[in-house]
Amino acid sequence: MKFLSILGAVFFLIPGFLPAQETEIPPGILNPGPDFKAGEELFVRNKPSEALPYLEKAFVADQTNVNAALYLAMCYEQLDRLDEAITVYRRILPAGGPESARIAFNLGNVYYRKGSAGFAEQFYTQAIRSDPVYAPAYLNRANTRVKTGALRDALPDYQRYLHLEPESPKRPQIEKLVALIQEEFAAEEIRRLMAEEAARAEAERRQRLMDEVSASLQAQADEAEGVSATPEDLSGYDGEFELE
């Protein structure tokens, strides 16, 4: 069984393992307007459809309100309106300030849900640049890299996450995955050495065969050079040989 198939089985046995961290909810707003307050309350009560119109009004009224935009984007996510969530996240990201890491992280999650692993990794990386100790971004970037087969890049991300979150409840799962990756590296090295040995043996076999064929040809050439004339060449010669 190929290694990535094994990883797929591991992920299947770990519900919700990809992405490892859900979209992060922003802290509350100090002086929320009535629309935002109503939308936030409904969103927290898991009523995104009812919360949406209030959050849209709050965002239209104050498009500099990063937290209101975050709630609106998360509401779109819950309603599977992913393109609209991306639009809001990308619009507020340049002005995210202290929330930049959280916005980039959430944006990475949306792209992951859409199957765009490349964009997901890009925004997890941006989250890490905004906040180098933002642990969830390391974990989700590692998971994304495993999905794309970039195991050598995924391993240090898992290790960094465990360093930042030593008490994480996901530690046993991550350690199991890290062990699988390390086993794959060891198997890959063995395959490389075996391939090199097989190539060397094949090169030696071809060289022996070429040596045998060339030696045979050379022997035939030497034998031909040893005969200067045949009886037919001498027939009809009536002259006498004289010594000088």
Instruction: Give the model's pLDDT for residue 191.
Output: 73
Tell which wins on pLDDT, 212 or 243: 212
pLDDT tier for residue 20 given thresholds of 50, 70 and 90: low
- Across the range 32-56, mean pLDDT stands at 90
Residue 67 reports pLDDT greater than 60: yes
Predicted confidence (pLDDT) per residue in 123-152, tens digit: 999 999 999 999 999 999 999 999 999 999
pLDDT tier for residue 209 given thresholds of 50, 70 and 90: confident
Instruction: Give the model's pLDDT for residue 66.
Output: 87
d(CA 65, CA 40): 13
Q: Which domain holds residue 73?
A: 17-182
User: What distances in angstroms separate CA 3 from CA 95, 158, 224, 239, one per listed residue?
Assistant: 42, 18, 61, 88
In a domain, 87, yes or no: yes
pLDDT tier for residue 230 given thresholds of 50, 70 and 90: low
Instruction: Give the model's pLDDT for residue 24.
Output: 66
In a domain, 50, yes or no: yes
Contact 67, 57 (CB under 8 A): no
In a domain, 156, yes or no: yes
Contact 42, 64 (CB under 8 A): no
d(CA 61, CA 96): 18
- Across the range 7-21, mean pLDDT stands at 44
In a domain, 56, yes or no: yes
Whether omega for the bond prior to residue 166 falls within 30 degrees of 0, making it cis, is: no
Tell which wins on pLDDT, 219 or 157: 157
Strongest mean pLDDT among 4-8, 58-62, 130-134, 187-191:
130-134
Residue 61 reports pLDDT greater than 60: yes
Residue 74 reports pLDDT greater than 50: yes
pLDDT tier for residue 242 given thresholds of 50, 70 and 90: low
Percentage of residues in the chain having pLDDT higher than 70: 77
In a domain, 242, yes or no: no
Of 133, 124, 129, 140, the closest CA to residue 174 belongs to 140
Query: How many structural domains compose the chain?
Result: 1
Give the 3-state secondary structure of 122-154.
HHHHHHHHHCCCCHHHHHHHHHHHHHCCCHHHH
Residue 174 reports pLDDT greater than 70: yes
Of 99, 101, 46, the closest CA to residue 68 belongs to 99
Return the minimum-mean-pLDDT range out of 66-75, 146-155, 184-193.
184-193
In a domain, 164, yes or no: yes
In a domain, 187, yes or no: no
Return the minimum-mean-pLDDT range out of 2-6, 95-99, 212-216.
2-6
Return the minimum-mean-pLDDT range out of 16-25, 49-58, 155-164.
16-25
In a domain, 137, yes or no: yes
User: What is the domain-level CATH number for residue 53?
Assistant: 1.25.40.10
